[in-house]
Amino acid sequence: MVNQFDFRLLATDGLARRGQMTTPHGIVQTPAFMPVGTQGAVKGMSVRDLRENGAEIILANTYHLYLRPGDRLIARRGGLHRFIGWNGPILTDSGGYQAFSLGPRRRITEDGVCFRSHLDGSEHLLTPELAVDIQARLGSDVAMVLDECLGYPAAEDEARRSMARTLRWAARSHDRLLSLRSRTADHETDVDPTPVVINPGQAQFGIVQGSVYPNLRRESADATRAMDFDAYAIGGLSVGEPTDVMYEAVAATAALLPVDRPRYLMGTGTPLDLVECVARGIDLFDCVLPTRNARNGQLFTRRGPLNIKNARYAEDDRPIDEECGCYTCRRHSRAYLRHLFLAKEINASTLNTLHNLHFYLDTLVRIRDAIVFGSFESLKKTLHQSYSLRLLAHDADD
Amino acid sequence: MVNQFDFRLLATDGLARRGQMTTPHGIVQTPAFMPVGTQGAVKGMSVRDLRENGAEIILANTYHLYLRPGDRLIARRGGLHRFIGWNGPILTDSGGYQAFSLGPRRRITEDGVCFRSHLDGSEHLLTPELAVDIQARLGSDVAMVLDECLGYPAAEDEARRSMARTLRWAARSHDRLLSLRSRTADHETDVDPTPVVINPGQAQFGIVQGSVYPNLRRESADATRAMDFDAYAIGGLSVGEPTDVMYEAVAATAALLPVDRPRYLMGTGTPLDLVECVARGIDLFDCVLPTRNARNGQLFTRRGPLNIKNARYAEDDRPIDEECGCYTCRRHSRAYLRHLFLAKEINASTLNTLHNLHFYLDTLVRIRDAIVFGSFESLKKTLHQSYSLRLLAHDADD
């Protein structure tokens, strides 16, 4: 029984949207945050932890899984859901962002991205078609098209050329998916019996590029919409630009996207970024911040971030966040968590990650409730009081 | 409401004993395995994981906690149970074994062990009295006396001198505990308000030494028993001697210990060691083997150990152990666990540890049941078929 991909708008408060995204593996309440499971695992979190924290969808990285253990191996295991033991919705990125991040180890041509593996130096050409095929074999619920992700700043002519290429790649990606969908089982030959399409209900999202140039963003949005993707993402942000520039680009681009499809802001952000971008009409987020920072000892609380390494917590018997209901806060003190962190115990990573993800997912719960009850502006103000732009320098007890 | 330390023998099968050890923080069914939580955490396991796996008592290391975060800090937090969030029984070693393991960084005198911290090189003198005081401040349910742990082989005269010193240290440890117990609160001065005794019901175990020499073991057992400890441990084994030599020393020593007190074999061992030493009358075990080997990819199964790195598991959709009911086995395949291990994901450590500890704790359940039902010999045979002495070279599917 395959659910068709679908999105319903349930309520709005200003530009903020409360919705429901249906995927072949279940429903996602939006706005939603997707924990990042790069290699098919959210670092430090079991599937049960994710469920108990309220995660409804996770993200996995095509680049990493393609190189190891390989998309064909995963397809032979029945697809990514079965392989990793998570039967809820999964979104996979296209692999483009990681490939671009390789710097001198990659070269971009009209064909695709030529790169050397970070694992063994082997050469690979990731084309838009291959990115579609890999994700078809992974069987994620949402596949992203291959796009070119520019850094910041980028000159306008460079941004235009890159945006135009992303559009041509989007068309190729769309064509490839249609061709895969029409394939029959006889394409799975004895020579390579790897299944081609694991998840027939897989959706495909287009990605709007154009750096920080409103005219390019408009051109990209119009042309991408014309291809009629299941939904649209905003790419090329959170790449080093000032926050106000990002917020402006998000607002301008979100306004160009159809109201009846989810809008996904890729790779963002701080708790403040989430609420500010929901305020500009974004429905989906992913970011390594809560998980990575947890491993580095930065913990998010309702009063702002705190760094558990800090000597002031050595004899602090309070939980990380007195209002938090997560397992870590119900069970352990700051003093103990500081000890685990300084002692380099694995448990520091797992307990901190559990808390930070709970904070993020709970923030989204509060955002969704606020939209329904018309109190979104007031929630936004509350979050502003705790989370300034000085995120990394600030401490909850300062 | 403090429970007094107590031990009741419930059933026997040959020399194997089924008992119940009562401690201030609860009851432990014996024979029991104590997961090792060196720094106040069983690596990769939450308290909930431990409980769900059936752990009833854990071990923590005095040496590590004394150096970081410090026994006084822990006492000010209300003791080790509160500090780490585990309200079940805890046994603490004396710190001696770790200090002795420091090799050139330690020197033994009649006074105690002089050592340099592995953390910052600072000098410390661990006396029998200090080991008692530290453990009183930690507030564990069972404290071990400071002993001298010789390596293997040791000449008889060296073993005799060392055994004799351990006896003198045991007497000093026993005296110190009696003196602490008789202290009143006015010893907690304003200058150092750290509580002296956290857990008034704390038991103290003596340790029998004597290397592999039956006459020394007898002398040590007789003299240690004469001090009337709450129970007795067998130390100085699992230090490099052949397995049959260890089994023989265990049998000889266990026979010298009182039947109405638990017998603890320190730092042992493989699944086979457990069953063989239960067969010789041992009630308590601790070992880093299941947790450390889990992190190195060696997993225990009912058919023997397997190494998850092995290429043969790349596309193996079975759980680690098809008869195992642990979270890892219910949820994940060997193929996925191999991927996590090769990808160096934290989750490889946590999922593997969860399984290995479940295997150990479940083996003890089977041992306890077998003793009650008189089928211990048959269980021992079964375990022998799966676990040979070639533990590390062997693979479950060979």
CA-based torsion, A383, A389, A392, A393: positive or negative? negative
| Among the partner residues A64, A73, A343, nearest to B68 by beta-carbon distance | A343
Predicted pLDDT at B355: 98
- Residue A219, C-beta contacts closer than 8 angstroms, at least 6 positions apart: A163, A210
pLDDT category at A239 given cuts 50, 70, 90 is very high
- Measured CA to CA, the distance from residue A217 to residue A234 in angstroms comes to 9
pLDDT category at A289 given cuts 50, 70, 90 is very high
For residue B64, the chain A residues in CB contact (below 8 A) are 343
A76: nearest CA in chain B? Answer: B315
Identify the bridge partners of residue A306 per DSSP, sorted by sequence position: A299
- Measured CA to CA, the distance from residue B235 to residue B250 in angstroms comes to 10
In the residue annotation, A286 being an active-site residue is answered as: yes
B327 to A48: CB separation less than 8 angstroms, yes or no? yes
Predicted pLDDT at A329: 98
> Strand pairing of B263-265 and B123-126?
unpaired
| Among the partner residues B85, B333, B340, nearest to A331 by beta-carbon distance | B85
- Measured CA to CA, the distance from residue B62 to residue B41 in angstroms comes to 13
Mutation for B interface: A344, A347, A355, A357, most B CBs within 10 A: A347
Q: Give the A:B interface size as CB pairs under 8 Å.
A: 113
Complex ipTM value:
0.96
Q: How far is CA B269 from CA B96, B272, B290, in A?
A: 19, 8, 9
Alpha helices in chain B (DSSP H): 47-52, 62-67, 71-76, 80-84, 96-101, 128-138, 156-182, 214-226, 243-254, 271-278, 289-295, 327-331, 334-342, 346-373, 376-386
For residue A68, the chain B residues in CB contact (below 8 A) are 339, 342-343
CA-based torsion, B252, B256, B259, B265: positive or negative? negative
Identify the bridge partners of residue A307 per DSSP, sorted by sequence position: A298
CA-based torsion, A61, A63, A68, A73: positive or negative? positive
The CA-CA-CA angle for residues A272, A273, A278, to 5°, reads: 100
Gyration radius from chain B CA atoms: 21
Predicted pLDDT at A2: 59
CA of B380, closest CA in chain A: separation in Å? Answer: 34
Mutation for A interface: B339, B340, B351, most A CBs within 10 A: B339
A342 to B68: CB separation less than 8 angstroms, yes or no? yes
pTM here is: 0.96
Catalytic residue positions of B? 93, 286
Largest Cα separation within chain A, whole Å, is 66
Predicted pLDDT at A98: 87
Predicted pLDDT at B195: 78
For residue A288, the chain B residues in CB contact (below 8 A) are none
- Measured CA to CA, the distance from residue B83 to residue B79 in angstroms comes to 6
For residue B342, the chain A residues in CB contact (below 8 A) are 68-69
B350 to A44: CB separation less than 8 angstroms, yes or no? yes
Closest by alpha carbon to A319, among A303, A335, A305? A335
CA of B242, closest CA in chain A: separation in Å? Answer: 33
| Among the partner residues A83, A342, A346, nearest to B44 by beta-carbon distance | A346
B347 to A41: CB separation less than 8 angstroms, yes or no? yes
SS (H, E, C) A248-260: HHHHHHHCCCCCC
Contact assessment for residue A60 and residue A90, using Cβ atoms and an 8 Å cutoff: yes
Q: What is the mean pLDDT of residues B255-265?
A: 98
Predicted pLDDT at B190: 56
For residue B88, the chain A residues in CB contact (below 8 A) are none
| DSSP string for A206-243 | EEE--TT-HHHHHHHHHHHHHT--SEEEE-S-SSS--H
Contact assessment for residue A323 and residue A302, using Cβ atoms and an 8 Å cutoff: yes
Q: What are phi and psi of B14, to 5 degrees?
A: 65, -130
- Residue B81, C-beta contacts closer than 8 angstroms, at least 6 positions apart: B25, B87, B90, B139
Complete edge-to-edge strand list for the sheet that includes strand A6-13: A6-13, A16-23, A26-30
**Does the structure show a pLDDT above 80 at B230?**
yes
**Does the structure show a pLDDT above 60 at A380?**
yes
Return mean pLDDT, chain B: 94
| Among the partner residues A43, A47, A315, nearest to B73 by beta-carbon distance | A315
> Tens digit of pLDDT for each residue in A326-375?
999 999 999 999 999 999 999 999 999 999 999 999 999 999 999 999 99
Contact assessment for residue A277 and residue A268, using Cβ atoms and an 8 Å cutoff: yes
CA of B328, closest CA in chain A: separation in Å? Answer: 9
- Measured CA to CA, the distance from residue A95 to residue A66 in angstroms comes to 9
Token readout for A19 is: 């919705």
Mutation for B interface: A292, A341, A346, A352, most B CBs within 10 A: A346
Closest by alpha carbon to A234, among A202, A267, A204? A267
Backbone angle region of B340, left / alpha / beta, with phi > 0 → left and psi within -120 to 50 → alpha = alpha
For residue A77, the chain B residues in CB contact (below 8 A) are 315, 317, 333, 335-336
**Does the structure show a pLDDT above 60 at B392?**
no
B343 to A39: CB separation less than 8 angstroms, yes or no? yes
Token readout for A193 is: 């019996």
Token readout for A160 is: 């235009």
Q: Where is average pLDDT lowest: A7-21, A35-49, A181-195, B221-235? A: A181-195
Q: What is the mean pLDDT of residues B292-303?
A: 97
Predicted pLDDT at B3: 72
Query: Chain B residues with CB-CB distance to A under 8 A?
Result: 39-41, 43-48, 64, 68-69, 73, 76-77, 83-85, 314-315, 317, 327, 331-333, 335-336, 338-340, 342-343, 345-347, 349-351
For residue B350, the chain A residues in CB contact (below 8 A) are 44, 46, 346, 350
Q: What are phi and psi of B64, to 5 degrees?
A: -65, -45
Q: What are phi and psi of B204, to 5 degrees?
A: -125, 130
Token readout for B55 is: 């752990």
b/e map B219-236, b = 16+ CB within 10 Å = bbbebbbebebbbbbbbb
